[in-house]
């Protein structure tokens, strides 16, 4: 018994020691980040990845897909960033095809592509808030590509977007937060988090704290102010609470992250979860100074430091004016630093931290403008509903006028440059709608009075991002021991070149197959002079990089690529008048921007979109490499036509909205004399059979075809130009839109890398179409391939062509883009009525399988093998 008692005493002592040890151990803070993948967000994500994971463990990331970046480009950039940092264990969630019913039922996996007020049962919707973000240079295009720097620096791993396999935003949130206590970092629009909270109230208890960058409470915008004693200067955003540089004429109060979905932000702020807000009040006090920039230039000892600095540098070099050092701030990275410091200091009530002064404020988020309860057609939560969506109060704070765009007449104040709307304003209030929130108010000065860096966070950030611990492994140039960038140029010196052709495409899947086919056409028959890219079609402008990669694969790095407009002719620069009909999720932009996940299997071209620019082309300054700048459509057109031989003319093949061609005709008075003919893939002439068009997302418009619908004014301009035109309409396309017939023909042809790639793409699209409703329209893209085959093999297809007097209907959404046979208003054009379909399938497969003009490098995998051994 005595021995047993001693053993029990020893066991109890051991248990007590173990308990003491466990009490002393800190459990790491589990962190989830929701980000819009803007440049400053990358700084914040890398800052968090540099933390000791035993203290701060980044568990997952979701992408805010209705903000400064497009989903497909954003997810692949994050995968590459995490690969560089050796953190392929971190799941990334984006999108989802769930919806919200008319009555307000939230179905699983709503993708966050749209603000909640605009979310229906699909990923198609308007852009009342997102239109405040420019789509082209200086906006989404530059963020999608990180100004063109991303692809030239980040390594490429195995993870990539894959249709129907990509984790959704809601799936990743549920998986992460279900496990246990989680801290959220919000660096973008709040749609994902609001949807999670509204759909999963039982998991709200697992969210310990939410740290938010965004809003402006008492902030006073320091940008756009006039110099003292300058009586001619007109102030811009000077003194505004917000930072909507594109919309302060209607809303000077909101900040981008809150304006992007005010109702979502309201749900988050009013969730009852502890909130710490780092708004413009604080970030406006920590602009990127010239001294910080110089110090950063001298401190780049890790790959992540290099990526941050070079991203910052190209942002500075392409800034629209000379006020970068007073206009660009440490936004999301400052929030991350403040949040980490608060947690390191024990998360005290007063928010004690090393980098910012803090104060409690009573705030709310304004979601609509007074008077409340007036249904004026601006508020889908109430308009047309007997019972408001989500059971909102009839005359409550959400029931007023909701801003409908950057130029909303309701918001304009006559005689003033500042508007009156407050949608997204984080406003101090009293009463029942007030929420007590801990707010960062001012960045703390440097503790070292002799430091050249005036803010304490500047020094800390540079120290952390350059730490050797948890550092990046390599960039793309050091990922492979023999990495080198090689341009592949053809040698046609002994060949007579054929018909000069310009291909105008909008980067749908069918367009990429058409491009490959044109590159296979014998140079003696077809001389592809240039490619023009529509930024208002089925893919976003940044997808131009896939064109460069296909040209690289085919050994045609000599062909120039011109980037066109991102909006239709005659439509506002800020808006989505026609392209809002294209789904944002599956079967739409998400898949087009990634070429259904297969874009990353292509070899990487040294050519890519870049924001590099020069004064010569209207930029405020020359960047480091102005010779690399992305040429625009009209520049490429001028270059091509200047090099034509005497008597030569251009033949155009268009497979997208006709914006580029119309712009050329309008800008070059001699264009009609330089163009031999035009083949237009698109249009639909309704016949007696009642065949409908293919704009399936606009039910009211029954007979339009997408390419004409996406820019009807341009289509009308081209048709009326008098240039010899042949239309390959929807009826003809449908005769060859059989994926089974195409695949069968490809299976019997000789195998080449380009045929194999085409076969893989079409097989994937066929599988998706059979399995999932969101891909039912894949035949649309199959028909587009007909244009290139018709151009190359017209005589062999035994076409039946009729001449018709065609007019394009403009101005009525129910008929917009439809073609009518009108002998009074119309112009005579050729229309392809039918063709030998068996010959079509044979010619398509046989040319793709031809060994001549075949790929010089088949894939990224082959490229990796080349880069892994010494050059011969």
Tell me the pLDDT tens digit for each residue of 499-515: 999 999 999 999 999 99
- Which sign, positive or negative, has the C-alpha torsion 393, 397, 400, 403? negative
How far apart CA 174 and CA 178 sit, in angstroms, is 6
CB neighbour list of residue 808: distance below 8 Å, 6 or more residues apart: 683, 708, 712, 715, 716, 719, 817, 818, 819
How far apart CA 97 and CA 110 sit, in angstroms, is 6
**Which pLDDT band, with edges at 50, 70 and 90, does 18 fall under?**
very low
As given in the structure block, the two tokens for residue 39 are 């440049």
Measure the CA angle with vertex 43, ends 298 and 471; round to 5°: 70
The residue among 643 and 15 whose pLDDT is bigger is: 643
**Which pLDDT band, with edges at 50, 70 and 90, does 234 fall under?**
confident
Find the mean pLDDT for residues 177-193. 97
Q: Give the neighbor-by-neighbor strand order of the sheet with 56-63.
A: 92-93, 56-63, 29-35, 182-187, 207-213, 275-278, 435-443, 356-365, 426-428
Nearest to residue 856, comparing CAs of 509, 594, 558? 558
Helical spans, DSSP H, in 486-620: 509-520, 544-553, 589-592
List Cα–Cα distances, 143 to 135, 140, 562, in angstroms. 10, 5, 19
The residue among 561 and 16 whose pLDDT is bigger is: 561
Give the bridge partners for 131, in sequence order.
none
Interstrand relation of 435-443 and 356-365 (parallel, antiparallel or unpaired)? antiparallel
Give the bridge partners for 618, in sequence order.
none
Looking from the CA of 109 toward its CB, the CA atoms found within 13 Å total 15
CA dihedral (465, 471, 475, 480) in degrees, to 10, reads 160
pLDDT in tens, 97-135: 999 999 999 999 999 999 999 999 999 999 999 999 999
pLDDT, the chain, mean: 94
Contact 280, 216 (CB under 8 A): yes
pLDDT in tens, 453-502: 999 999 999 999 999 999 999 999 999 999 999 999 999 988 999 999 99
639 alpha-carbon distance from chain centroid: 30
Nearest to residue 531, comparing CAs of 544, 513, 540? 544
- Whether omega before 371 lies within 30 degrees of 0, making that bond cis, reads yes
Count other Cβ atoms within 10 Å, centred on residue 66.
Answer: 30
- Complete domains list, the chain, with CATH: 29-225+237-367+402-476 (3.90.245.10), 499-564+598-868 (3.90.245.10)
Nearest to residue 458, comparing CAs of 290, 283, 287, 292? 292
How far apart CA 159 and CA 466 sit, in angstroms, is 26
Contact 438, 276 (CB under 8 A): yes
How far apart CA 626 and CA 230 sit, in angstroms, is 34
How far apart CA 474 and CA 486 sit, in angstroms, is 20
Find the mean pLDDT for residues 306-311. 96
- Residue 3 is predicted with a pLDDT of 53
pLDDT at 785 over 70: yes
Phi and psi torsions of 530, nearest 5°: -165, 160
How far apart CA 387 and CA 393 sit, in angstroms, is 9
Phi and psi torsions of 361, nearest 5°: -135, 150
Three-state secondary-structure class, residue 201: helix
Give the bridge partners for 369, in sequence order.
401
Three-state secondary-structure class, residue 827: strand
H helices, E strands: number in the chain: 31, 18
pLDDT at 10 over 80: no
| Burial state string for 792-801 with b = 16 or more CB within 10 A and e = fewer than 16 | bbeeebebee
Count other Cβ atoms within 10 Å, centred on residue 767.
Answer: 15
Flag the least confident range among 497-501, 535-539, 823-827, 838-842: 823-827
- Residue 872 is predicted with a pLDDT of 85
pLDDT in tens, 79-94: 999 999 999 999 999 9
- Residue 755 is predicted with a pLDDT of 97
- Residue 287 is predicted with a pLDDT of 96
Each as own residue / partner, the long-range contacts of residues 522-525 (CB below 8 Å, 24 or more positions apart, any chain) are 522/498, 522/852, 522/853, 523/490, 523/492, 523/495, 523/497, 523/498, 523/853, 524/495, 524/496, 524/497, 524/498, 525/498, 525/499, 525/792
pLDDT in tens, 264-297: 999 999 999 999 999 999 999 999 999 999 999 9
How far apart CA 531 and CA 639 sit, in angstroms, is 12
- Residue 129 is predicted with a pLDDT of 96
How far apart CA 819 and CA 389 sit, in angstroms, is 39
**Which pLDDT band, with edges at 50, 70 and 90, does 691 fall under?**
confident
DSSP element (H, E) containing 259 = helix 256-259
Looking from the CA of 449 toward its CB, the CA atoms found within 13 Å total 0
Find the mean pLDDT for residues 15-19. 50
pLDDT at 198 over 70: yes
pLDDT in tens, 546-595: 999 999 999 999 999 999 999 999 999 888 999 999 999 999 999 999 99
Three-state secondary-structure class, residue 505: strand
Find the mean pLDDT for residues 149-175. 96
As given in the structure block, the two tokens for residue 586 are 């599956």
Biggest CA-to-CA distance, the chain:
115
Contact 735, 131 (CB under 8 A): no
458 alpha-carbon distance from chain centroid: 30
As given in the structure block, the two tokens for residue 14 are 């051991």
Measure the CA angle with vertex 456, ends 51 and 307; round to 5°: 50
pLDDT in tens, 626-674: 899 999 999 999 999 999 999 899 999 999 999 999 999 999 999 999 9
Nearest to residue 128, comparing CAs of 493, 340, 410? 410
- Orientation angle between helical segments 509-520 and 753-771, nearest 10 degrees: 160
First to last CA, the chain: 82
Percent of the chain predicted with pLDDT > 90: 88
Q: Where in 188-270 does DSSP place strands (E)?
A: 207-213
pLDDT in tens, 580-638: 999 999 999 999 999 999 999 999 999 999 999 888 888 888 888 989 999 999 999 99
Contact 509, 543 (CB under 8 A): no
**Which pLDDT band, with edges at 50, 70 and 90, does 8 fall under?**
low
pLDDT at 21 over 50: no
Three-state secondary-structure class, residue 184: strand
pLDDT at 5 over 70: no
How far apart CA 872 and CA 130 sit, in angstroms, is 51
Find the mean pLDDT for residues 422-445. 97
pLDDT at 310 over 80: yes
């Amino acid at each position: 018994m005595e021995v047993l008692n001693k053993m029990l005493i020893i066991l109890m002592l051991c248990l007590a020691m173990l308990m003491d040890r466990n009490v002393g151990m800190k459990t790491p803070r589990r962190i989830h980040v929701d980000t819009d993948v803007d440049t400053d967000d990358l700084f914040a994500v890398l800052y968090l990845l540099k933390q000791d994971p035993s203290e701060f463990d980044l568990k997952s990331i979701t992408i805010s897909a209705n903000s400064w970046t497009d989903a497909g480009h954003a997810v692949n950039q994050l995968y590459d960033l995490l690969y560089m940092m050796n953190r392929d264990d971190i799941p990334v969630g984006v999108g989802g095809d769930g919806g919200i019913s008319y009555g307000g039922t939230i179905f699983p996996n709503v993708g966050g592509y749209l603000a909640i007020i605009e979310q229906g049962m699909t990923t198609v919707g308007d852009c009342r808030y997102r239109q405040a973000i420019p789509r082209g240079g200086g906006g989404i295009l530059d963020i999608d590509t990180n100004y063109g720097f991303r692809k030239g620096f980040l390594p490429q791993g195995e993870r990539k977007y894959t249709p129907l396999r990509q984790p959704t935003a809601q799936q990743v949130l549920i998986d992460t937060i279900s496990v246990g206590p989680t801290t959220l970092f919000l660096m973008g629009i709040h749609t994902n988090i609001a949807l999670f909270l509204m759909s999963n109230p039982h998991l709200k208890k697992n969210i310990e704290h939410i740290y938010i960058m965004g809003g402006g409470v008492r902030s006073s915008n320091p940008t756009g102010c006039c110099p003292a004693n300058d009586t001619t200067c007109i102030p811009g955003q000077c003194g505004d609470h917000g930072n909507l540089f594109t919309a302060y004429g209607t809303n000077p109060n909101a900040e981008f992250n809150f304006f992007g979905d005010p109702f979502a932000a309201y749900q988050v702020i009013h969730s009852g979860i502890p909130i710490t807000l780092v708004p413009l009040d604080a970030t406006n006090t920590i602009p990127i100074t010239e001294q910080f920039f110089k110090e950063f230039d001298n401190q780049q000892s890790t790959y992540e430091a290099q990526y941050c600095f070079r991203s910052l540098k190209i942002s500075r070099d392409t800034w629209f004016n000379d006020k970068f050092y007073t206009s660009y701030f440490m936004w999301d990275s400052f929030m991350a630093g403040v949040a980490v410091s608060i947690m390191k200091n024990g998360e005290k009530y007063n928010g004690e931290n090393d980098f910012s002064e803090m104060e409690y404020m009573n705030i709310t988020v304004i979601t609509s403008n007074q008077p409340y309860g007036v249904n004026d057609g601006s508020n889908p939560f109430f308009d047309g509903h007997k019972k408001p969506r989500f059971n909102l109060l009839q005359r409550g704070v959400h029931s007023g006028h909701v801003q409908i765009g950057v130029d909303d007449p309701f918001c304009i104040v006559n005689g003033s440059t500042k508007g009156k709307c407050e949608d997204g304003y984080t406003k101090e209030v009293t009463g029942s709608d007030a929420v007590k929130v801990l707010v960062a108010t001012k960045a703390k000065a440097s503790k070292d009075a002799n430091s050249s860096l005036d803010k304490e966070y500047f020094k800390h950030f540079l120290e952390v991002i350059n730490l050797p611990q948890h550092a990046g492994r390599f960039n793309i140039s050091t990922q492979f021991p023999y990495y080198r960038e090689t341009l592949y140029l053809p040698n046609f010196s002994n060949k007579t070149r054929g018909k000069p052709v310009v291909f105008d495409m909008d980067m749908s899947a069918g367009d990429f197959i058409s491009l490959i086919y044109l590159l296979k056409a014998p140079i003696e028959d077809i001389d592809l002079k240039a490619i023009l890219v529509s930024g208002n079609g089925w893919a976003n402008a940044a997808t131009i990089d896939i064109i460069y990669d296909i040209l690289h694969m085919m050994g045609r790095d000599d062909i120039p690529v011109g980037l066109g407009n991102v909006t239709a002719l005659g439509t506002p620069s800020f808006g989505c008048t026609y392209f809002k009909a294209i789904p944002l999720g599956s079967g739409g932009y998400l898949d087009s921007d990634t070429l259904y996940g297969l874009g990353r299997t292509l070899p990487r071209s040294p050519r890519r979109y870049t924001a590099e620019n020069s004064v010569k082309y209207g930029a405020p300054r020359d960047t480091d490499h102005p010779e690399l700048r992305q040429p625009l459509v009209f520049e490429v057109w001028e270059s091509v036509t200047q090099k034509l031989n005497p008597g030569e003319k251009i033949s155009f093949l268009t497979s997208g909205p006709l914006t580029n061609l119309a712009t050329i005709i309008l800008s070059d008075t001699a264009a009609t004399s330089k163009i031999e003919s035009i083949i237009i893939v698109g249009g639909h002439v309704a016949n007696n059979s009642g065949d409908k068009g293919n704009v399936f997302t606009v039910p009211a418009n029954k007979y339009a075809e997408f390419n004409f619908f996406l820019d009807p004014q341009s289509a009308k301009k081209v048709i009326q130009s008098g240039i010899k035109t042949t239309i390959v309409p929807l009826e003809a396309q449908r005769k060859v839109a059989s994926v089974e017939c195409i695949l069968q023909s490809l299976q019997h042809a000789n195998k080449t890398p380009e045929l194999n790639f085409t076969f893989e793409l079409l097989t994937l699209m066929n599988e998706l179409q059979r399995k999932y409703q969101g891909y039912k329209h894949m035949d649309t893209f199959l028909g587009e391939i007909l244009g290139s085959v018709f151009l190359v093999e017209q005589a062999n297809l035994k076409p039946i062509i009729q001449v018709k007097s065609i007019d394009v209907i403009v101005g009525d959404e129910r008929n917009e883009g439809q073609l009518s046979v009108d002998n009074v208003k119309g112009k005579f054009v050729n229309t392809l009525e039918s063709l030998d379909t068996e010959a079509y399938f044979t010619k398509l497969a046989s040319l793709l399988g031809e060994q001549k003009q075949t790929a010089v490098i088949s894939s990224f995998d082959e490229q990796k093998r080349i880069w892994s051994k010494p050059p011969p």
